[in-house]
A and B are shown apart, each in its own frame.
Chain A
Amino acid sequence: MTVLDNTEIEEILTKMAEDLRTFLQERNRENIAIVGIHTGGVWIAQRLHQLLGIDEALGELNIAFYRDDFSQIGMHPSVEPSNLPFDVDNRHVVLVDDILYTGRTVRAALNEIFDYGRPASVSLVVLIDRGEQELPFKADVAGTKMSLKAGEHVKLTGPDKLSLVTSIPAK
């Protein structure tokens, strides 16, 4: 079931770009580097990158090698490799993901970023905040909050026309 269509998401993204700009200005963070988490996070990051008019190339993270569930579920099907086309040291990094759920993905992404260098700061931007974190993370900028029923899943589809769909997997 589609819960947010493309038009609605684009509206949210415009507002997120504004919020992010304000957030960064208040903290005097300039010369930021945007990093999206594969796959949905990269799509969101690309939009924000455009809306904020940043020249420097976007960073992409594939956190497959940093997951904490390797022993339980093994290797994930491989996607694009991580690519941070800039020096992370002393940069203000804006980490972008589509959905903030348990916080474990953010944990993995932070670990990976720190393996590239020592950023001056990292702020977290997400499209959807489910509010069910299991780790001490909170989004600095969130597009919208959403609570789901038990067993319900939410997924961002793209990359051309983004929309948000929920599903309850058949038992």
Chain B
Amino acid sequence: MNLCIRKGHLFDPASGLDTVSNLYIRKGEIVAIGRKPAGFEIKKQIDVNGRYVFPGLVDLSARLREPGEHFKADIASETRAAASGGITTLICPPDTTPIIDTPAVVELIHQRSEQSGKTRVLCLGALTHGLKGERLAEMYSLKEAGCIGVSNAMQPIENTEVLRRAMEYAVTCGMTVFIQPEDPWLGSGTMHEGAYSTRMGIPPIPETAETVAIARDLLLIEETGVRAHFMHLSTARGVELIRDARKRGLPVTADVSIHQLHFTDKDVESYNSLCRVKPPFRHHSDKERLIDGIKKGVIGAICSDHQPLDHDAKMAPFSMTEPGVSSLDVMLPLVMKLVDDKLLDLETAVRAITHTPSEILGLPLGSLAVGTSADLCIYDPEQRWTVSENALTSAGKNTPTLGWQLKGKVTHTLLKGRIVHKSRI
């Protein structure tokens, strides 16, 4: 259907667009910006009235909980949440039940998400079989089934020999390895090691839980030549290690979870289980260095690291609760809050949730360039709303932003030219 997005503030760091203009869509593709192409007959138009039109967001990590954990969430609920948050592409890590280590699971997820039709779902395949860190997963078959990369998700590989071989095999298969860096022994605590953990008597996770793993992994990346992406950095020192490695020319990229840019270990005070995440909320100075890392391009992407949980998962003494934050609904407003707070400029912020993550995936997405898929996020930056369980589309209500007043809401989301979300106003 021929569609015209009228008078939108088209903002796209990838193509350098920053202008109020019309955008024309045909057969799911952006066909023109500004002047209507010859012979284009407008079947439908959306009047945007100066609101932002961003490329659809690309989220490098979001758990959908399907297959396996329907009591937490499912593909239908979470892809709906993604669409309502302006996310048109998301990456599903392999730690589903069963684990994404066979083509059948990939096919199931693809099938379900196509049924839902709300957002593009791409899978990371397992790096090792069953994520057990013992034997290699069938990476080639997983790639054939459509996996965009491989990862051991939140299960660190203890055996360095296995990790090295897995990286070599990933090189062979031409797969990017997605690494959540954590030393399994140093990372056995439940909150950041600092003055707060000491006072609260919570088993701590020192900074070295992350940095020791990054240092080890970087040396193996250098040796094997694998293309690697570090997920969810949390420490200042970790950012430095990635920066230095990139300077040396290593093919590594990194992302940070949006909540790491808003919360610190102080927020855990009074045992707020909604602030239990992995990696943990770190010190204030870490948060500042993470933001700086985005500015300097060391951290290319901001992701949601969405982990919806059921209500009971957080109803226990702090260390007995499950880690994770539900964040698809609040991701874009929280990114834009960094812009409002003058911590990031708009271009850097939008690039980190659109173009750079697509580049990391090697996909021609996250842009408003003519000829690309018409994945759009239309955003009203002035609309105010309060985060509440009812206001969240995701089945997971576990966000420490409950009660926050946020500014900005997605009014429309388009996936391949199709409206997949339209806000009620």
Q: Do chains A and B touch in the complex (CB under 8 A)?
A: no
